[in-house]
Each structure stands twice: as C-alpha cells, then as structure tokens.
Amino acid sequence: MKTTFKEENNDFVMYLSGRLDTATSPDVEKDMQVLMDCEGHNIILDCTDLEYISSSGLRLFLNVLKNAKSKGSHVYIRGVNADINKVFAMTGFSNLFEFK
Amino acid sequence: MAENTNLRQNSKARVSIGILITAAVLVIVMGTVQYWFASSGIKAEVEEHARGELRVKSLEIKNVMTAAEVAVENMVWVVEQNLDKPDSMYSITRRLLSDNDGVIVGSAVGFEPYYYREKGRQYSPYSYENGDEVIDKQLGTDKYDYHEMEWYTETMRTGQGHWSEPYFDENGGEMMMTTFSYPVHDKKGKTVAVLTADLSLEWLSDVINKRRAFPSSFNVVISRNGLIIVSPVDSLILKYNAHSFATKNNDTVMQRVTKAMIDGSSGMATVKDPKGKKNYIYYSPIDGNTGWSMAVICSDQDIFQNLRQRNFILILLMIGGLSLLVFIISRSLNTFVKLQNVNAEKERIGSELLIASNIQKGMLPKIFPPFPDRDDIDIYGSLKAAKEIGGDLYDFFIRDEKLFFCIGDVSGKGVPASLVMAVTRSLFRTVSAHEASPERIMEQMNDAMAEMNESNMFVTLFVGVLDLLTGQMRYSNAGHCPPMMVDGNDVELLQMDSNVPLGLMMKWKYTVQEAMIAPQTTLFLYTDGLTEAENSAHELFGEERMIDTGRKNSDVESSEDLLSAMNDAVRAFVDGNEQSDDLTMLALRFTKNQAVIKLQRSLILPNDVNAVPQLASFVDDVCEQLDIDPSTNMSLNLALEEAVVNVMKYAYPEGTKGEVHIDAKASDKRLRITITDSGIPFDPTAQREADTSLSVEERPIGGLGIYLVRQLMDSINYNRVDGKNVLTLLKKLG
C-alpha cells in the first residue's frame, strides 16, 4: 500500500495505490494527517491505482470527509474501479462523497 | 347509508299515512252507514211510538167523553119521563153528578122559554159541585140568558148531542171544562129542553201528559177550532188559538200542521223551535164527537241523543282501535326497517370479516414451496379457517442459514383473536430478526404481549430454530401441542417442557430444548383444530389418529404429501360434519443432502490484524482453484476480511491471544467458509445493521463490517458450539 500527497491547483490530492485493508489502514491513517489541515483547500482522493478497500479503509475516507466538511472543504473521489465502486454503493458512501 | 335510511323512513311514512287514510275513510263510512241505519230505524220506532201514544191517549179521552155522552143520553130519558114535574129536575141533575162523580161536575136542564108558564121565561135547574157539596140554582139569570148560549142554540138547531168548546168556568167550578148538551124531546117529539153535563177537564192534562215518550217530549191537544186545550205551558191553555198563533208568527209549517189538525187529519212534520232546535210533531184526531186533535212533539235531541252518544263512543272506539292499529303497524314497520338495517349491518360486517380474514391469511406465507431454490428444506402449510376468522397462525423464514418457524393458536375466535394473531405474527418477525434463540424470542414476545394484554387473551406458541447446516433444532414451547416428527421408520411427538402461554405472565423464563433433525425427517406442526376435529358423534380426531396417520405415511417424500394425507384422514373422520375450529398444519421436511466436496482448504491465523494479507492470499488461492471471477474474488476477500477482523477484535478482547480457524469447503453449488474461534461468545449476526442512509455527520465511523458480510455473501450463520464461536458464510457458485 502506497500513498502520495500532492498539492495541485490549490487542491490537496492524495494518490492511493494497492490494498487498503485492516492491516494497512493504520499507516494510511498517519499519511492522511496531512489532509486534516485543509482549510481553504478541496481534497481529492485519487483511487485510480487502489485495488481493494475494506471497512477499515472506508472508515478513513469517512474521517477525512467529516473533518473537511467541518472546515468547509469538499472531498472528491477520483478514478474508482468498478469493484470498489460497488462497495461504495453498497455502503451508501456514493451518497456521501462527490465523484470526479 | 344516510340516504338509504331517509328513503326507508320516507317509504315508511308513506305506508303509514296510506294506512291511516284508508282506515280513517273506512271508519267514517262505517260510522255514517251505521248512523244512517240506526237513525232511520229509530225514526220509524219513534213514529210508531208516537202514533201508539196518540192512539192510546185518544182512546182514553174517548172513553171518558163517551161515558159522559152515554150518561147524559140515559138521563135525557129520565128528564123526558118527568117533564110534568118541573121541580124534580134538580134530583135528576144531582143524580147525573153523583152517578159520574169527579167527571161530571155540573149539570143543567135548560128549557125553552116559557115551557112552564109558571116558571117564567128562563127555567134551568142547575146542580154543580162546589168542593164537597152540591149546590142547586137557576142557571139562567138576567145577566146570563142561556137561550143565547152556543150549547143551547146549537143543540136546539141540530137536534143532536153537542160538545162545547172547552172553557174556563168562572161560575163556581173554577176549572177548565167542556159541556156536553143533548136535546130533550116532549112526547110529540119536539125539542123542548137541553140537558147538559159539564165535564171537568182537570184529568185531561193528566191523561195527556202523565206519560211521555221521551224525557222532554210533550203533548198538545187543540179543539176543533184550534184552541189550545192541553199544553205543557199553562199560560197558553184556552187563551191561544194554535192556528192563529202560527199565522201570527208566520210559521208556515205550524200553520199547515194546525190546519191539518183542525181538519181532523193525521200526519207528521219537522219543525224548528224558537231556539232553532229540531222537533218532530206527530198528530192525529181524537176519536169521538169532540173534534179535538192531539199532537206529540219530540225533540230531535231526545230521540237521537242516545244514538249520537253511542255513535260518538263507537267512533271514539274506532279511532282508538285505528290509532292502536297504526301504532302496531308503524312498530312492525320500524322493526322491519330495523331488521333491514341490521341485515345491512350484518352484510357489512360479514364482508369486513371476509376482508379481515383475507388480510389475515395474507400475513401467513402461502406460496409453496417457499424456497424453490433451496434443496435442504421443503415446507408446506395450510390454514383452513372455520366459519369466521380465527386466531391460528404459522410463520417461517430463513435467516443466516437458520429456519425460524412458529405455529400458534390465539384463545378465542373472531376479530379479537385475529387482531392478537396479527400482533403475534408481527412480534415474531420483529423479535426474531435480531434474536436467534427461541427461548429469548419467546420471552421478548411474552413480555411485549403481557404488557399490552388488556383483554386477557393468550397465545399458545411453538417457536423453533432449525440450523439448516447441521440439522440441529432448538425450540421453545409456550403451551402449544407437541409437534410430531415423522422419519422413514417411525413417528414420535417432540418432548415438551411446560411453559405458560404467551401474554399471561410477565417476565416468565421460557425453557429451550434441543433435538437433532436427521435428513429426510418431517416435522409436523398443527393446532388443536386437528386433534379436536369432531365427527357427528362428537368424537374427537385425537392425537392417536394423528400419530396413526403419520405412521401410515412415514415414507412420504414431501411435506405436501404428509399434509394432504393428514387432511384426507381428518376429512374422512369428520365425514361432512361442520368444522368448528381453525385447522392449521405446517410440515417442514429437512432434505439436506450430502454434497460432493470439490475443494477443502483451511487456514489458521493468530488474532492479529496484520495477518490479514495471509487471509487475502488464502482467498485468492481458493478462488483460483474454483475458477471464480475477479469481482466475486474481491467480494469474498472483503467479506472474509470483515468477518475475521470482527472475530479478532471482539471475540478476543485486547491483549488476549488466540487463533482463528478458517475452513473453506466447496461443492458444485456453493462455497462454504467456516470461521471458528475459542474466544468469548460473540454473535456478529445479532448486531444491529448499519444504517447506510444516514448523513455524513450522523454516520458512525464503525459498524460497517458485518453489514458488508451480509451484503456480499448469500448467507451468514452463527452458532456457539462446544465453547467455540462458529460463523458460517455461504456463497452460491455458478
């Protein structure tokens, strides 16, 4: 599991690649601290290379969203594959996030 | 409805009024006819009566008058024999008086002038009663020249007997009289004197008016000139001429009547008196030579008073009867209308009951087979309601590879029972949605029902939970009749603990029992409508016959066959007798087959989330072996990770060490993954499901894991076996 943080056009962008499961999520949670101080920036979670996500990963996504919302920022999800999209739909996350 | 009522009331009113009018017309016609017949009868009778009275009175008067005439005529002979002895005349007149005491009150012999030269011009010996004595005197005086008097002149002229007009005698009698005069002849036949007899008419009034036909009727007698002789009004007597009186008063009817009376005819007339009241006058001449005529006058009031009274009473009675009749008819109409309303109401309730019955039946599973894509369970049920809706129920569903089922019977019948039945069924569904232990399902249902049990209704209920993976059945019974187990060899009733029915005792601790259901065994559940089905001899079908039927059909191959065999047996037993109670049956046949195992793998992990990648490669390996597509592969990965992580987190509290065993078994049809751990009891299936419709702010961070497992797998099943948590996940293949 690998994460990359970039600031693009004033947006905070995090590239996620590999399996975001229970084992890897504690590390990813630390990587995501950079997204917490997001005042004045929208956040983009780029899932183009994300192979797998479990409820632990979803939990992290929800954390980011809750924090951003309280600071008036938007969270966009970008490039999800069909299987992961299915999980998002199943859990109702499709209704919570904005997709790019 | 209101319109109907109005219509009915209108038609009721119309019928009532119609009857009233008809009856009123009838009463009036009947009364009139009756009155007419009665009055003409009475009129005829009155006339008859009046004429009879006239005849009788006339005869009475005639008798007296004739007697006087005869006495005078006889005495004339004595006078003629003694014409030569003028002084003997007093003895003759006295004799006439004494012979006719009380009737003839005076008598005189008036000789023609100078018949006896020595006696002068007037010689008229006269005797008259004065009180008790008889006084003799000369009638003729200087002031009274009897030769001028009518009684003398008329008698002398005609030579025949003559009755004078009645008059009031002021010369001594002081009474009403009439005088009969008869000529006296000498030996040569010449009329030389007139013998008179003064007839007191004191008795006349008595005779005429002593008896009257009606209380206020009266009789009148008038002379041949119309002089009133007898009248109830004394002041009229001898003072008025009836005919002149009528003429003076312009009373044409009375004029005609008095004229007829004077002329000596009989007849009848209707007159109105000065007060305008109607009177009837019947008149007829009095026999004899007096020329008198008598009239009987009756008032219309008198004659018809009784009749009118009777008619009045009769009409009152008729009106009373009529009112009674109308009352009765309107009452019966009311009853009729009420009956119609009641019938309409009954129809309405009937159709509502039918709807209720349909709703009730709709609550019960009624599509059989209910699980067409399952080969491990075969269920068939039937509910035959008695005449109306009842309180029998059954229900079943599969959750987490467990069959939850129940059968019950609510006390009582009808709508109340059906309401309780509906509540019971809902409670069963609600409670068993998150509770897998039959005794706890029972307890929660019982507490809920006991709390709201206002009407002390209760439910006998059997709840069973059959683990479709193992055939282990756990059950709890609240006073329901014991189900019957039918396998290929034998039949037996399930062992039952005694627990109270639901709804009676708050906080009752229900016991749970267990039984293993071998494949190809049928569990037969029923209500007492089966065992208490009655034939015409009032014998009950009973447990024995049920077990017999089960035994005879122990080799049946489907639940439907067993049910129809039982149905046939009951129908044959009752033989057309009416079904008195709901008949509810439910047969569950456990048809689990040992599948051919295509693959079997296992993995043991420590309770460490960092071992999750091992789990992922285990799943990938299994999927590769079974040629499972990548998308399903990912679903299985996700489901398994969530299930195993759940166990690691909750069955093993932080700091404790343990293992998690993962076994995968696959047949052609399904993949079965069993996760076993030795941690503390933890049933993930009993957790509340995540609500995926909440907003970001409301959404809890956790709780998604088990939800995802349910979504991704076809079924999930938890059991605590031998101190271990056993979670089984199933995924259909192909």
B580 and B604 share one domain: no
What is the per-residue pLDDT across A44-68, written as a single tens digit (0 to 9) for each? 999 999 999 999 899 899 999 999 9
CA dist., res. B419 & res. B396, Å (int)? 19
What is the per-residue pLDDT across B107-143, written as a single tens digit (0 to 9) for each? 999 999 988 888 888 899 999 888 788 888 888 888 8
Range scoring the smallest mean pLDDT among B1-10, B297-306, B397-406, B541-550: B1-10
Residue B351 forms part of a structural domain:
no
Mean pLDDT throughout B410-419?
81
CA dist., res. B133 & res. B94, Å (int)? 11
| Last-in-domain residue among B563, B590, B617 | B590
- Flag whether pLDDT at B720 surpasses 70: yes
Mean pLDDT throughout B374-403?
85
Token pair belonging to B540: 């009950």
Percent of chain B with pLDDT over 70: 96
Does B697 contact A69 at a Cβ distance shorter than 8 Å? yes
B541 and B568 share one domain: yes
Cα B375 to chain centroid distance, Å, stands at 65
B680 and B580 share one domain: no
- How many helices (H) and strands (E) are present in chain B, helices listed first? 15, 27
Residue B547 forms part of a structural domain:
yes
* Prediction ipTM score: 0.90
Task: Provide the domain limits for residue B631.
Answer: 599-732
Is the CB of residue B692 less than 8 Å from the CB of residue B707? yes
CA dist., res. B707 & res. B470, Å (int)? 24
Looking at per-residue pLDDT, the higher value among A18 and B49 belongs to: A18
Q: What is the pLDDT of residue B5?
A: 56
**Could you tell me how many CB contacts below 8 A there are between chain A and chain B?**
67
Please report which confidence band the pLDDT of residue B8 belongs to, taking 50, 70 and 90 as the band edges: low
Q: What is the pLDDT of residue B387?
A: 63
Nearest CA in chain B to A53: B638
B533 and B427 share one domain: yes
Q: Which of B19-23, B210-214, B232-236, B582-586 has the highest mean pLDDT?
A: B582-586
Length of chain A: 100
Range scoring the smallest mean pLDDT among B85-99, B345-359, B538-552: B345-359
CA dist., res. B192 & res. A78, Å (int)? 180
User: What is the crossing angle of helices B630-650 and A82-91, to 10°?
Assistant: 50
B476 and B573 share one domain: yes
A19 inside 8 A of chain B by CB: yes
Task: Name B403's bridge partners.
Answer: B398, B466
CB contacts of B609 in chain A (<8 Å) are 22-23
- Residue-wise DSSP of A47-85: EEEEEEE-HHHHHHHHHHHHHHHHTT--EEEE---HHHH
Q: What is the pLDDT of residue B33?
A: 86
When scoring B632, B638, B647, B694 by the number of chain A Cβ atoms within 10 A, the one with the most, hence best to mutate, is B638
- Flag whether pLDDT at B90 surpasses 50: yes
| Last-in-domain residue among B557, B590, B623 | B590
Q: What is the pLDDT of residue B723?
A: 85
B574 and B674 share one domain: no
CB contacts of A19 in chain B (<8 Å) are 613, 616
Q: What is the pLDDT of residue A100?
A: 82
Q: Which of B50-54, B555-559, B594-598, B629-633 has the highest mean pLDDT?
A: B629-633
- How many helices (H) and strands (E) are present in chain A, helices listed first? 3, 5
Sign of the Cα torsion B712, B713, B714, B715 reads: negative
B603 and B586 share one domain: no
Phi, psi of B296 (to 5 degrees): -105, 125
- Flag whether pLDDT at B48 surpasses 60: yes
Minimal Cα–Cα distance from A76 to chain B, Å?
14
Of the candidates B157, B179, B151, which has an alpha carbon nearest to the alpha carbon of residue B166?
B179
- Torsion angle of C-alpha atoms B639, B644, B649, B653, degrees rounded to 10: 150
What is the per-residue pLDDT across B162-175, written as a single tens digit (0 to 9) for each? 888 888 877 666 77
Q: What is the DSSP secondary structure assignment for residue B641, as one 8-state letter? A: H
- Flag whether pLDDT at B2 surpasses 60: no
Task: Name B472's bridge partners.
Answer: B516
Class of CATH domain A2-99: alpha beta
CB contacts of A21 in chain B (<8 Å) are 612-613, 616, 641
**Sequence spans of domains, chain A:** 2-99
Does B645 contact A19 at a Cβ distance shorter than 8 Å? no
Token pair belonging to B355: 């709807």
- C-beta pairs of A7-13 under 8 Å, 24+ apart in sequence: A7/A41, A8/A44, A10/A40, A10/A41, A10/A42, A11/A41, A11/A42, A11/A43, A11/A44, A12/A38, A12/A41, A12/A42, A12/A43, A12/A44, A13/A43, A13/A44, A13/A46
Of the candidates B728, B733, B632, which has an alpha carbon nearest to the alpha carbon of residue B677?
B728
Please report which confidence band the pLDDT of residue B478 belongs to, taking 50, 70 and 90 as the band edges: very high
Q: What is the pLDDT of residue B54?
A: 83
Residue B582 forms part of a structural domain:
yes
CA dist., res. B511 & res. B496, Å (int)? 10
CA dist., res. B358 & res. B364, Å (int)? 10
CA angle B142, B144, B150 (to 5 degrees): 145
- Residue-wise DSSP of B70-105: HHHHHHHHHHHHTTT-GGGHHHHHHHHHHHTTTTEE
Please report which confidence band the pLDDT of residue A42 belongs to, taking 50, 70 and 90 as the band edges: very high
Is the CB of residue B293 less than 8 Å from the CB of residue B221? yes
For chain A positions 60-89, those within 8 Å of chain B (CB to CB) are: 62-63, 65-66, 69, 82-83, 86-87
B690 and B654 share one domain: yes
Measured between its terminal Cα atoms, the distance across chain A in Å is 22
Residue B649 forms part of a structural domain:
yes
Does A91 contact B704 at a Cβ distance shorter than 8 Å? yes
Closest CB to A22 among B612, B630, B712:
B612
Mean pLDDT throughout B444-460?
87
- Flag whether pLDDT at B10 surpasses 80: no
- Domains of chain B: total: 2
- Flag whether pLDDT at B437 surpasses 50: yes
- Flag whether pLDDT at B25 surpasses 50: yes
Q: Which residue has the tokens 């009152």?
A: B316
Q: What is the pLDDT of residue B234?
A: 77
Cα B47 to chain centroid distance, Å, stands at 54
Residue B216 forms part of a structural domain:
no
Say if residue B369 is preceded by a cis peptide, omega within 30 of 0. yes
Does A52 contact B690 at a Cβ distance shorter than 8 Å? no
B397 and B534 share one domain: yes
B575 and B664 share one domain: no
Percent of chain B with pLDDT over 90: 25
Is the CB of residue B392 less than 8 Å from the CB of residue B525? no
Mean pLDDT throughout B376-383?
90
- Reduce the secondary structure of B261-323 to three states and give it as a string: HHCCCCEEEEEECCCCCEEEEEEEECCCCCCCEEEEEEEHHHHHHHHHHHHHHHHHHHHHHHH
| Last-in-domain residue among B590, B623, B645 | B590
Q: What is the pLDDT of residue B388?
A: 63
CB contacts of A59 in chain B (<8 Å) are 701-702, 704
Q: What is the pLDDT of residue B12?
A: 66
Q: What is the pLDDT of residue B1?
A: 46
Does A54 contact B699 at a Cβ distance shorter than 8 Å? no
- Flag whether pLDDT at A92 surpasses 50: yes
Is the CB of residue B445 less than 8 Å from the CB of residue B502? yes
Q: What is the pLDDT of residue B228?
A: 87
B465 and B491 share one domain: yes
CATH of the domain at B710: 3.30.565.10
A22 inside 8 A of chain B by CB: yes
Mean pLDDT of chain B: 85
Does A19 contact B616 at a Cβ distance shorter than 8 Å? yes
Instruction: Using CB atoms within 10 Å of the CB of residue B648, give its burial: 0 to 12 exposed, 13 to 18 middle, 19+ buried.
Output: buried
Please report which confidence band the pLDDT of residue B525 belongs to, taking 50, 70 and 90 as the band edges: very high
Range scoring the smallest mean pLDDT among B188-192, B219-223, B328-332: B328-332
CA dist., res. A7 & res. B347, Å (int)? 78
